[in-house]
Every structure is written in C-alpha cells, then in structure tokens.
Structure 1
C-alpha cells in the first residue's frame, strides 16, 4: 500500500492502496476459537441489521443494541444509509477475532459492502469489527479498536446535497459549511476537464475520525487539510473515491486557501487520480494545482514562493520532481509541489490548456508519458525539463 501526502495549504493527499479483486474476498483465519462465540446467532443478528437498513427501520435496528448507546448507534446507521441513499448495503458475519468480553460477549469481523447511489460506480468493501453481547443476539459496539471505520458507521451524520455534490459531516449542522466550496470546486474542475462525475466530501469530526475513516495509524495526517482516497482503501478500477477533510487543519485556512484545497481534491476525485499507477506524481499533483489555481488571483510569490527560495539557495534542479520527492517525510515538501505546478504551467504555456488536459488524461489512462509528451507537445522529457528550468529561473530571478 502506498500513501501520498500533500501540504496543508495548497495541496491534498492521494492515498492509493492495493488489495484483492472485486470478486475475491479472503477472510482472515481466526486466531483461535472460543466457547463464548456463537457464529450462527451472530450471523442472524448481522443479517437483521442489514434488513433494518434495507427497510429504513431504525427502531428494528435499535432493538438489536446491547444497551442504550448501542441502540442509538444502530438506529443512526439506518438514518445515515437513508440520508446518503446507500445502495448495495450488505453485512455478513465472517469470523471471530479472539477477543472476548465476559461470559457471552466477543468481537467478530463483519464484511460490508455499500455505495452512494448516483455517485459511486461500484461498491466499496471492507471488514469492520462488531462487538457482540448476549451470546451474539445483540450488538454492543461497532468498530471497536483500530482499523478502518467508514464514516457512516461511526455515528449520526449531517448530509447535504446540491446537484451532483454531496457533503456528509459527523458533526451536527456542519455539512452546509462545506457545501459551497465543494460546489465551486466541481464547477472549476468541470470547466477544465469536463465530464459529469459527481463529488462526495466526507467530514469526520476530528483528526482521529479521519484516521479511522481511512484505516491508518493515528497521527499520520494530523497536519494535512484534506485527502482524496478510495473509500475502502482498495485501488482497483471503479473504486469509489471521496474527498476527506481534516477539520482542524482545513478550518484553519483562509477562504482562498480552503477553496484551493477543495478544488485540488476535486480534481483527484473526479479524474480518479488515486487509481493511476503509471502517471508521474508531479503530473498528478501539478495538474490538480493547475486547475485549483487557474482562476485564483494570487501572486507568484505566494504560489511559488517556496520553490523560488529553494532555487535561490540551492540552484536550479537537474530533473523533474521524482516520486520519492513527494514522500511526506521529505524536506522542502511545499517547494516540491510548487515545482510540480510550474511544470504544468510550462506545458500549458507551450501548447495550451487543452494539450495539457489531453496529456493528463492519456497518462492517467495508462499511456506512456514520453510518447504522449512527444505527440502532444513535440518535446522530449529533456526538452520539458529545460523549459521548466527556464521558468524556475524567471520565478526565482536567477540566471541559468
């Protein structure tokens, strides 16, 4: 699994994860069996939850809770599924995990599928731990411990729609705050790349919720503003791709920067960039910033200030940004993304925006970059590098 992190101000994250195919589901071998676990009863309880979601019956789901908190959560899952208009919702008991609670409680893995109707072309798939009680007849908790916990399973959601934009927030009355930026982002993306793909933005309550939704260790993305990722972490064709906001960071941005982040993320989501395996990272991230900054009246001192300072200090780079340069632990990360943006600006200046869009689409679809560059721009990678270095020299006000 590879993860790609962007700076918080003008950039975003594309998280790419390898996984099994859509048709193959491999359950992990249980670490052991216990006298407490009753998989038959648990499977029936899980099936009853699925039936309640399909029927939109929150009371029926709530009746399966082991206590008041669990009942409230299960009823909320039904409400969330309705508000999101989820389709293909299935829940299937898979196995116990080996963790028990008292004489009649244990944790088991439950396989789920779901998709947001009208937005997701295919269903997401993942496993979530369920805590069972009363011999498996009731559910005490969902998602206990670590691992991926889809936002709609974590508690009540506030869901807002506007045309082909959907925002789901884990905090009450918060979705409307992010809806205008998401709508504007989709408009900006379509103005450049066209298409009719919609946009889903998920807003966990805090950074911890973000990490649970993505299934990554706590703290990994504490300093980023947003992430674009396959909902279930599986990077295969058709995987649902949503934008996830990190509220503490995103909410701290000024309005212009926040819109740039949202639009950058929308580029990734609408073009399914997290699924691209062969595209150079500088093209994926540079193009997203090209679209996000296209209609923004910001001076170059802000949009390319970090790379300009780096060039003045260290001289012009010899090559286009490498994939390794985008490692979140790398130094001068902001300068790397600014440099990638300037590569795309250089391309657009040479043959026009349409040629840049065509190059981006072709390479994302798997075409060889060098061949596409030669066909669309009449340049080799060496030619592009030379022109980009000229651009950097102008921005930094240094000589070649």
Structure 2
C-alpha cells in the first residue's frame, strides 16, 4: 500500500515541509457528456420514466423531479425525432465538478409538426459515479440558445381537434388557450376558408420564460401578448411554427381582447408569413383585419392608442415601418392599430377579396405592397393620403 505523507527536511536548523501534490482540477469530459445525452435520447425514445429519472445526479431530488416531468411531457405531447448532439463546453467547470455544455437538440410533435424543430440547448452536467448525470437544462442569454418549454418540467397539455396546447401552469390555462385557438380557427376561416393545418400553442409561466423559450434577450417580449415564431432555430426554414403566449400580458386582457390576440396570431400561422419578408404594416395590419373583422367595437376603442399618439405627435407622415414595430417601442400598440386601419381602407376601397389577394401576392413573391397596389385603382400614395385623412378625422 502506498502512503502519501508530508516530508520533514532539516536545513540550517529550520524545519521545512514539502508541499502535498496539488488536488486534481475538475475537468469537463465531452465523451461523458455525449454518453449522458445518448442515454437521455434513448430514454425519451422508449418513453421510459425510470430511465430518465436515473439520469439525475444522486442527492438532487429537484433534478429527478425535472426529468420525471419531462417523461410526462414526452408522453402527453407524443414527442418524436428527439436527438441530442454534444457541441461544446460553455463557461468553466465548478469546484463540485458540474459544468454546462451546449447540445444541438431536435424534437417534433407527432401529428402537428411536419418537420422537427432544431436548436442549441444548454445542458447542466454533474459528476455521478464514474460518469456524468444531467442536472438540468438552461437558457443562455445572448447566444441564441433556447430552453424549449417541454424541458422545463411537467406541463399541462390540452388537445382539441387540430389544436395542441402546452402550458407551464394549471390545466385550466391550457384548456382556456385551446378554446381560444378553436374559436380563432373559425375566425380565420371566415376570410381564409381554404386554410387547413394543425395549430400548436405554447404558454410559458412568465414573460421571462417566454424570452428563454425563444432564445431572446431578457425583456424582448415583456410587452407582447403573444407572438408567432419558429419553435426552433429561425434560420431553419423547414422547421415548425408555433404560437407563444405571454401570460403576463394576456392574463390582463378582457375576453374579447384575448380572443383577438389569438385570432391575430393564427392569421400568421395560416398565411405562413413568419419567415417571409412582408412589409410589417401589411403583415400585422392584415392579421388584425381578420381578427377584428366581426367584432362590434367602435373605432375609438379599436383605434384608441393610435388616436392618442396622433393627438400627441400629429398624424404620421407614413405607414408604420419595421422600426416602428420594435417590441420595446413606446407606441407599439398604436402602430398595430395604424396598420389595421390601412388594411381596412384597402378592403373598403377594393373589397375584402382584393385585400386577401394583395396579401397573398406579397407573401408569395416577397415584393413590396406598393408594387401590388400599383395594379389597382388605389396606389400606395393614395392609400397613405386616405389613411392620414381618416386618422385626422378621428383626432378632431
């Protein structure tokens, strides 16, 4: 048996102690991380709750509970095509040997997503026995990585026809969102009767979680009630698109307002305009036109913020631009209302079917609305003048 001991040396009457060998510095092990991820994928594919729970570090009940919740989500959501490839280390290794690694993750909702979503996800590893365990999943602000909702723990899931809702909250939250989506589908089909596609709605627990789910900087969606966005990497043009709800805003809306928000987002799903270079005023104005079409609200309600902004700053010189739709802009809601008014004027002057055709042409060709309007009796300059006059009348 080898014994390590301090060595006492006498030199010129002084006692010196030779230093002990330095303790081993914890290091990241890509091979062990890849093995842990492979075990995670196998457990997900097998719908094996016990195997998933076994991947948590010993003595960390929170991690075990997280993985147990993920097992429930995998079954409730019918997740398929799940893969996880280790990419690299993120940050340094902690004194306890835990560290974070980036993994390229894919996942797909069977029956709802035509293709898998893909995104980088931060995984927290911790030493466990002779290998690594999975302590949890994280969002890394600023690098575009995401924390998909189904990796946050047990979710509430509601299915109704062509609608699937997952919510980080009680079942009532998922069921309420599903009911709004079903009504919203009917609203959209009154204008776009040929639309037929399943809808997925995700409801994080907070605005901060919404930012993390979409890989956005903190505060990006704080003032947005909902957003339609790619479920994975926005650069993946074939990936699925879902509706994401911000409960911090939507919960404060009245029933009609919450329904208009959902119907608006479903227009974006129906027109497949999320990844296409559509002029923002037409993109958002058309969605609001469809969502508000059959409501019985007076203009001073539906245009209330636009009227207030015009009274304060004057009637705008031009239709809203991309910069005007900054999610953190002071008058963001006014810009939406102004865009809606422009689309309503097009419908009044040219008819609803021409508005639908105009939107379809612009989305399909990626052209400017001015080019499409140029083929009608209403040019864009004429539209802007009519829009300014209508807004000016409301201000007076």
Task: State the partner residue of 1:191.
Answer: 190
Larger Rg: 2
After TM superposition, give the deviation of residue 290 of structure 1 in Å. Answer: 0.4
Give the drift of 1:392. 2.5
Query: Does residue 58 of the first structure (1) align with residue 53 of the second (2)?
Result: no
- Identify the range of structure 1 (321-330 vs 57-66) with the bigger mean alpha-carbon deviation: 321-330
For the pair 1:138 / 2:133, whether they are aligned, the reply is yes
Q: Note if 1:228 corresponds to 2:223.
A: no
Asked if 1 retains the 8 angstrom alpha-carbon contact of 2:82 and 2:105, the reply is: yes
What residue number does 1:152 align with? Answer: 150
CA deviation digits over 1:224-251, x for unaligned, max 9?
2212211124144333211111112211
Alignment TM-score, normalising by the size of structure 2 = 0.85
Provide the C-alpha distance between the structure 2 equivalents of 1:103 and 1:326, rounded to a whole number of angstroms. Answer: 46
How far apart in 1 are the matches of 2:312 and 2:156?
Answer: 48
> C-alpha displacement at 1:272, in angstroms?
2.6
The Cα of 1:149 is off from its aligned counterpart by 0.4
Structure 1 residue 370, shift from structure 2 partner: 2.6
Query: Higher relative CO (CA 8 A, sep ≥ 6), structure 1 or 2?
Result: 1
**What is the rounded CA distance, in whole Å, between the counterparts of 1:314 and 1:53 in structure 2?**
56
| Shift in Å, 1:344 | 0.3
Q: Which consecutive unaligned segments of at least 5 residues does structure 2 have?
A: 1-24
Aligned-partner Cα distance in 2 for 1:331–1:87? 41
The answer for the alignment partner of 1:295 in structure 2 is: 294
Distance 1:271-1:55 versus aligned 2 partners, 3 A rule? same
Q: Offset of 1:258 from its aligned partner?
A: 0.8
2:354 corresponds in structure 1 to 355
- Measured against aligned partners, the alpha-carbon deviations of 1:22-42 in whole angstroms (never above 9, x if no partner) come to xxxxxxxxxxxx862222222
Of the candidates 162, 169, 172, which is equivalent to residue 171 of structure 1?
A: 169
Work out the CA distance in 1 between the residues paired with 2:312 and 2:186.
39
2:15 corresponds in structure 1 to: none
Which among 49, 74, 90 is matched to residue 97 of structure 1?
90
Cα pair 1:88 1:113 within 8 Å, conserved: yes
2:28 to 33, 37, 61: 37
Which residue of 110, 114, 118 corresponds with 2:107?
114
Structure 1 unaligned spans of 5+:
1-33
Listed one character per residue, the Cα deviations across residues 333-383 of structure 1 (whole Å, up to 9, x for unaligned) are 3322211101100111112111111111111122423332223x3332112
Pairing 1:257–2:257 present: yes
Q: Distance in 2 between matches of 1:209 and 1:373?
A: 41
Per the alignment, residue 6 of structure 1 pairs with none
Instruction: Give deviations 1:145-200, integer Å, cap 9, x for gaps.
Output: 54520100111111111111111001132311221111111221122123112211
CA RMSD of aligned residues (A): 2.1
Q: Equivalent residue of 2:268, what SS?
A: helix
**Which residue number corresponds to residue 116 of structure 2?**
123
Query: Offset of 1:293 from its aligned partner?
Result: 0.5
